[in-house]
Amino acid sequence: MPVIETEKKKDLIEIENVTIRFAGDSGDGMQLTGTQFTNTSAILGNDISTLPDFPAEIRAPAGSLPGVSGFQINFSSRDIRTPGDEPNVLVAMNPAALKVNLGDLEKGGILIINSDAFAELNLKKAGYEKNPLEDGSLSAYRVISIPLTELNLNALKELSLGKKEADRCKNFFALGMMYWLYDRPLEPTLKWIQSKFQKNPVILEANTRALRAGYNYADTTELFTTHYRVRKARLAPGKYRNITGNEATALGFIAASQVAKRPLFYASYPITPASDILHELSRHKNFGIKTFQAEDEIAAITAAIGASFAGHLGLTGTSGPGVALKSEAIGLAVMTELPVVIANIQRGGPSTGLPTKTEQADLLQAMFGRNGECPVPIVAAATPSDCFAMAFEAFRIATMFMTPVFYLSDGYLGNGSEPWKLPKVDELPKIDIQYRTDPEGFHPYLRDDATLARPWAIPGTPGLEHRIGGLEKQHITGNVSYHPDNHEFMVRLRAEKVARIANFIPDVEVFGQPEGKVLVVGWGGTNGAITSAVEAMQARGKSVSSVHLRHLNPFPKNLGAVLSRFEKVLVPELNLGQLCLLLRARYLVDAIGFNKVKGHPFKISELVGELEELV
């Protein structure tokens, strides 16, 4: 936390940025606490980046290590791109939260602990043989031990609440303390409490009192002698809102529907971390959005194909395990050449894997995970706010080329948030859908000269009856064909159609010098850490540049030329080297993989360390 200036009279220190992590039991409300702190910081104009960390166990025993939930926020007066390498402040609501998260806290960092939770039973659940508040093991940190549970109960004792209900408000007590410590106003959260609990006056009053009590306690106790201010960030002019990647994804799909002037039909089966897209889309029926919670993944994709056949924007969403189930039907969409978008919000695998943790291990699945020669275009978002643009882009490509398209995000992007500058409607790309209506000379597999797209003929249009299905099609007529020459021709034609998309996407842009010693190539949610690390190396005078790929099939046309201008190519990925494999195969470049599969995103320091060795 670099200090800018100090106002001694007010005991107020101005700092540039802070990273805070709230951690506790899954029932302690840490996600809500972090979200409220994030929203308040966004209102104040800080640049923000967040990393929610959910427990994988749905009902892990209270106080156990698998049940720990966390929320990290980096807020700043300057441009930031990641939730921070390590927290400057850790708020630990119980021993398990302390044990899981202490190793990430910076040395000398602020450690705020709910001392009431450090009873013998909770210590045992967390695997502590001795109480860390008493054995000197926390001497490297600025420890602020607070009987938070007791203070919260005392603040609510006049209300007609049971102990269990009152205890649920302690997250707001902790939030109030953090609002005082970092000079945040209470009003945005008080307004949220009023709206959320207006039908339950007792709970409304309890949360209000807890929030104010935490703030006043921090203001009056001698434990806190200083508080801190992070000024408003200098962002480009415009209207902003805080947005998560999954919210941005949903809004991007809605925007595509509005620009295309066609209804959006979303079919999905609930799966972490994609379910929020269903929740968000279901809230926007006023835009003609239809959502369908299917009985399984296969029903979801086939319903989306049916909607596309009927002239709607067909969309389905899932994660890696769901893509495995949808694979045959995705092949059907390739054969029938219908514009369906498959949103894959990636998580750790294989099988159920790490359902609440992030990973980038589905790229090869999206590229090749179907039987036969079955090419599908792939786009990938780079940041939470970029999810809007790339969701929109997925439908632009799908409808222009009459093909299914994969949209890749991941748990880090989907759950994380940042400020999003609202785009102007008239600046959005055009999606010009032309349905075939003239029966004169109609054949279902005629081709557009530029895109090789076949006509989109809506069922029921007079004179446009045609055969559709998964069997191989005869060129032009669309009749079933078993002829070997026709099959090879159609296989190559479908591949060429996807390849031609490269003529309609932008060239890749180099961050830094256009040639030099090291080029870092990234995709997906690694963008923030890579760009920050490359920027740090450039500030040291090192010859390091980067590109970030948002179109992965096909690659941008100039990518091969860009790669050839650097001595070394480094490809950081949250997998074992999937993009690296594709680059080596396609461009015969000796790309070097830098891989991590721990369920957590890259730290800037990890990438800087690797680049220092490479340079």
Alpha-carbon dihedral sign for residues 477, 479, 485, 491: positive
* Beta-sheet strands, E only, within 496-600: 516-523, 544-549, 551-553, 566-573, 592-595
Pick the residue with more confidence: 613 or 467? 613
Distance CA 303, CA 267 (A): 7
Confidence of residue 41 (pLDDT cuts 50, 70, 90): very high
Distance CA 375, CA 307 (A): 21
DSSP 8-state secondary structure symbol assigned to residue 435: B
274 - beta bridge partners? none
Instruction: Report the pLDDT value the prediction gives residue 6, as an integer from 0 to 100.
Output: 42
CATH superfamily ID and name for 241-427: Thiamin diphosphate (ThDP)-binding fold, Pyr/PP domains (3.40.50.970)
Q: Which two tokens stand for residue 528?
A: 């923030």
| Of 115, 77, 74, the residue nearest 97 (C-alpha) | 115
Class of domain 516-614: alpha beta
Instruction: Report the pLDDT value the prediction gives residue 426, as an integer from 0 to 100.
Output: 93
Tell me, yes or no, if the two domains 241-427 and 516-614 fold the same way: yes
- Position 58 pLDDT exceeds 90: no
What's the mean pLDDT in 302-324?
98
Task: Please tell me the CATH code under which domain 3-229 is placed.
Answer: 3.40.920.10
Distance CA 411, CA 601 (A): 10
- Position 447 pLDDT exceeds 60: yes
- Position 43 pLDDT exceeds 50: yes
The residue written with tokens 């190519």 in the block is: 569
Instruction: Report the pLDDT value the prediction gives residue 235, as an integer from 0 to 100.
Output: 87
Distance CA 262, CA 307 (A): 11
- Position 3 pLDDT exceeds 80: no
- Position 7 pLDDT exceeds 60: no
Backbone phi, psi, residue 474, to 5°: -75, 140
Backbone phi, psi, residue 594, to 5°: -130, 105
Domain boundaries, the chain: 3-229, 241-427, 516-614
Q: Measured in whole angstroms, how far is the alpha carbon of residue 290 from the centre of its chain?
A: 23
What's the mean pLDDT in 423-427?
94
Q: Which of helix, strand or coil describes residue 524?
A: helix
Confidence of residue 150 (pLDDT cuts 50, 70, 90): very high
Please provide the DSSP assignment of 499-511 as one string: HGGGGGSPPP--B
Pick the residue with more confidence: 425 or 1? 425
Provide the pairing of β-strand 405-410 with 516-523. Answer: unpaired
49 - beta bridge partners? 74
Helix then strand count (H, E) for the chain reads: 20, 22
- Position 605 pLDDT exceeds 50: yes
Of the listed ranges 147-151, 443-447, 466-470, the least confidently predicted one is 466-470
Distance CA 256, CA 312 (A): 12
Report whether 290 contacts 300 (CB < 8 A).
Answer: no
The radius of gyration computed from the CA coordinates of the chain, to the nearest angstrom, equals 26
What mean pLDDT value characterizes the chain? 96
| Of 578, 591, 527, the residue nearest 378 (C-alpha) | 578
The angle formed by the CA atoms of residues 300, 324 and 313, to the nearest 5 degrees, is 35
Q: Rounded to two decimals, what is the model's pTM?
A: 0.95
